[in-house]
Homo-oligomer: A and B are copies of this chain.
Amino acid sequence: MSRIRSVPTLDDVAKKAGVSTATVSRCLNSPDRVVERTRTRVMRAVNDLGYTPNFGARVMAAKRTFTIGAIIPTMENAIFARGLQAFQEQLHSQGYTLLVSSTSYRPEIEAEQVRSLVARGADGLLLIGYARDAKIYQYLRQREIPTLIAWAFQPGTDQACIGFDNRASMQMLANKVISMGHRDIAVISGVVEGNDRAEGRLQGIIDGARDNGLDPEQIPIIETPYEIENGAKAFDTLMQRETRPTVVMCGNDVLAAGAIRRARELNLSVPDDVSITGFDDIELARILTPTLTTVHVPHREMGRRAAVELVKMVESDNPGLSEQLEISIKLRGSLKSLS
């Protein structure tokens, strides 16, 4: 590595402006501690030289990187893409930069990613959901890295989080579905292992069924990774059972999109032959034919607020507040009342 950059340093600026390095530093970091005349002179020198502070040096001296790390399952799912986009925009407007890592839904590699981001000096961390090795929490506590959990809300933990109750939300949808006369429910769930959101959603359906006098044991459940194709396959399997479900509840909109596509391929009418529901309300939901009944989650809002809260935690050293967001049921064409 022989890159030789003759980049101007604080010293150069100081010399050029005829002041000390401390003054230059102050001009940049707390301008009000420097009298206007000096400041103007210094700023001109900065511009003339095209000076940019050296990141490493700054980090070392200030112990701050103004960098926030985020570890998400994948950017390919629109919910994370949207949320992360809003998160980044908000961070940017507060002077922070986003460091991104993804697990591709493999919880076992999260620990390493946490370490990597921390080693790179992330001032704070955004993580998705609660389910993870206790060692990770322990490490973060030991290093005192402010950490915010998003996309989930679990009252009663001391961990700051921002999100919604996946279980209660899905239960609300299940209640609605059942109230519309559906008794034969089938479920296409995301992979539950290591994914508390997926698990919560699945449990929500079971809760709803039980509360309404249905036997949860009777509900066929297929667990599969969140991908359109998998939703299609699962739908296929479910439709081959002797007693066909009247509704297929999916763990998210992506699986539901797959189910709807396959229904069309099988010449089944949605919702006349079978109803389908999703979760998340990504844009896709309103473009599908028929439009998809789903649970609306304010992903952008969640991302934005997560940024605000996390920066607050980083800058004030306080443990952070948890925040629960409102969800709502979006009744659309894919769900039909049987009564």
Chain A interface (Cβ < 8 Å from any Cβ of B): 1-3, 5, 7, 50, 52-61, 63-67, 74-76, 78, 81-82, 84-85, 88-89, 92, 97-102, 104, 113, 115-121, 139, 142-144, 228, 257, 260-261, 264, 283-284, 286-289, 315, 317
Contact = CB atoms under 8 A, between A and B. Distances in A.
A120 B97 contact: yes
Given A55-B59, A81-B81, A5 B143 contact: yes
Contacts of A104: 89
Contact of A315 (B1, B50, B67, B257): B1
B101 A99 contact: no
A3 B313 CA distance: 11
A250 to B, nearest CB: 14
Contacts of A1: 63-64, 315, 317
How many copies of this chain?
2
Given A56-B56, A283-B228, A101 B98 contact: yes
B60 A88 contact: no
Contact of A53 (B78, B92, B119, B139): B119
A55 B102 contact: no
A78 to B, nearest CB: 7
B115 A100 contact: no
Nearest to A2: B317
Contacts of A116: 97
B63 A60 contact: no
A61 to B, nearest CB: 8
Given A3-B144, A55-B120, A92-B101, 4 more contacts: A5-B144, A7-B143, A67-B120, A76-B82
